[in-house]
Amino acid sequence: MAAKNIPFSKEQIEKITESHPTPFHIYDEKAIRENARYFKNAFSWNEGFKEYYAIKAAPNPYLMKILREEGFGIDCSSIAELELAKRVGMRGDEIMLTSNDTPAYEFQLAKDLGAIINLDDISHIDFVDKHVGLPDTICMRYNPGDLKQGNLIIGHPEEAKYGFTHNQMIEGYLKLKAKGVKHFGVHTMVASNELDSDYFIETAEILFKLIVEIKEKTGIKIEFANLGGGIGIPYKPEDKAVDLDYVSAGIKKLYDKLIVANDLAPLKIFFESGRAITGPYGYLVTKVRHIKNTFKKFAGLDACMVNLMRPAMYGAYHHISVLGKENKDANVKYDVTGSLCENNDKFAIDRMLPELEPNDILVIHDAGAHGHSMGFNYNGKLKSAELLLRENGDVAEIRRAETIEDYFTTINFNGLKDFKV
């Protein structure tokens, strides 16, 4: 069972709302740091181990600065994420670019920063060589096809747009070697939000066997293996968290059997988790705006899909707590909704909760990854603030809420007077 604890009280939130009206996201620094250390310690047996935080999960430089201090790198997938890394002060192998359908200017900035470039397609070898020039270190993303099952979020490997086929991997390394690349890595990621601990051990086995084959067929000794991300979190109270100590022990056993035994050590092991690092430690705080009774009972909030898209996009479960009513019976069934002009703008369907009334404060759990970052501006809705609960109990604003002027800033209204219709 996954406990759904809250690191703040109703009184603390009421105090915060005096200066930061709902909705807003708030992250727990202490819990994020403790979790980061747990992740690192689980793989401390591997010299060179590094977790590259998937910044797409929560692209906030304040969170990244905290994780960098804990020894994490950053996994980027776009020009904006690379720029964020640059502005945080990150350089070199602190950064990994794992993108797809990548433009030349993204490869160029990654190379300028000294980042590790992770190629998604065999055609990108010539593309990078022509437009940017190949760096000394290159990684390639492996798509194992029917060797591995994917899931709803990322798709099945044979249908997914990501990565090289098995034969393309061998061809790609030979081509890179011929072009003068000196250092090589391998990467895969074929699932997202996976809770089966054995899944990650099986993924390591596939990648380690590939590394042995690459050495046999190309003479190349792979220096690092990025096992990707995809480590899930227990969104539902009845879910069981991934046991990282168990995963690490299983991977070490395979490392000794396949890597050490074939004289391929040392091999650095990397991960690029996002959700597993910050997901459980971010909360969307929102208030009930209206209660509506028609064919169903609806609780309309001041938050909407702009603030958390996952329930509408994936049918994902997010636990909901009602501050001040934690000990009351959950005996009323609600659809918990936002205000977008889309019927799927719902945080929960047929959810049993304590009886709600306007101005009740709701906390939507596990919103610390793919929450604020997936927001958009449909219906002219504005993205909310991000706050950080510091270890000493202070609250810092790490991103202000958007304003109407932000929404209109890219439009030249002055041009309207001369616009002929």
Write out the catalytic residue numbers: 341
- Joined together, the tokens standing for residue 153 give 């979020």
**Cβ contacts of residue 217 below 8 Å, gap of 6+?**
170
User: Are residues 240 and 234 in contact, defined by beta-carbon separation less than 8 angstroms?
Assistant: yes
What residues does 96 pair with on adjacent strands? Answer: 75, 116
Amino acid, single-letter form, for residue 195: L
Q: Is residue 48 packed enough to be buried (19+ CB in 10 Å), middle (13-18) or exposed (0-12)? A: exposed
- DSSP for 285-332, written as a single string: EEEEEEEEESSSEEEEES--TTT--HHHHH-----EEETT-TTS---E
Amino acid, single-letter form, for residue 323: L
Kindly give the residue spans of alpha helices, DSSP state H, lying in 74-196.
Answer: 79-88, 104-112, 123-131, 166-178
d(CA 80, CA 72): 19
- Report the chain's terminal Cα–Cα distance, integer Å: 62
Distance of CA 363 to the CA centre of its chain: 21
3-state secondary structure of 255: helix
**Cβ contacts of residue 229 below 8 Å, gap of 6+?**
54, 75, 189, 192, 271, 272, 273, 274, 275, 276
Q: How far, in Å, are 23, 328, 368 from residue 11 at the CA level?
A: 16, 18, 22
d(CA 35, CA 414): 50
- Joined together, the tokens standing for residue 98 give 């794992």
Q: Is residue 1 packed enough to be buried (19+ CB in 10 Å), middle (13-18) or exposed (0-12)? A: exposed
Distance of CA 295 to the CA centre of its chain: 37
Q: Is residue 358 packed enough to be buried (19+ CB in 10 Å), middle (13-18) or exposed (0-12)? A: exposed
